[in-house]
Amino acid sequence: AQSVSQHNHHVILSEAASLELGCNYSYGGTVNLFWYVQYPGQHLQLLLKYFSGDPLVKGIKGFEAEFIKSKFSFNLRKPSVQWSDTAEYFCAVKTGSSNTGKLIFGQGTTLQVKP
């Protein structure tokens, strides 16, 4: 079955530290990839997405992600985190076998940034 794995369940960083959250998926065909963020008390918001082209994707708030097809990965990065980045982060994949656009989500990573 298709699945998405986020290896880090809970990450704690100090402000200005660099961030990398891992995301791996299991599907051998064409994929579209997404990162969503959920700030405390708010709904899921789209951070960035990859459909095709440049595998390095830039999103909002200084986040970026790199699609590495050979590793089935789409890791999220930010060079310098802020306290306001404290949130839960979800990686999601839409497989080429789905013509409905449904997303398969990872279990999420909770990021806590200490001021």
Q: What's the closest the beta carbon of residue 2 comes to another protein, in angstroms?
A: 11
How far is the C-alpha of 47 from the C-alpha of 103, rounded, in Å?
A: 15
Q: Applying CB under 8 A, which of residues 25, 57, 108, 113 lies at the interface with another protein? A: 108
Contact range with another protein by CB under 8 A, out of 11-19, 43-51, 66-74, 78-86? 43-51
Q: What's the closest the beta carbon of residue 38 comes to another protein, in angstroms?
A: 9
Please list every residue from 61 through 100 that binds another protein, using CB under 8 A.
90, 92, 100
* 110 alpha-carbon distance from chain centroid: 12
Q: ∠ at Cα 25 (57, 36), nearest 5°?
A: 50
Say if CB 106 and CB 92 are below 8 A apart: yes
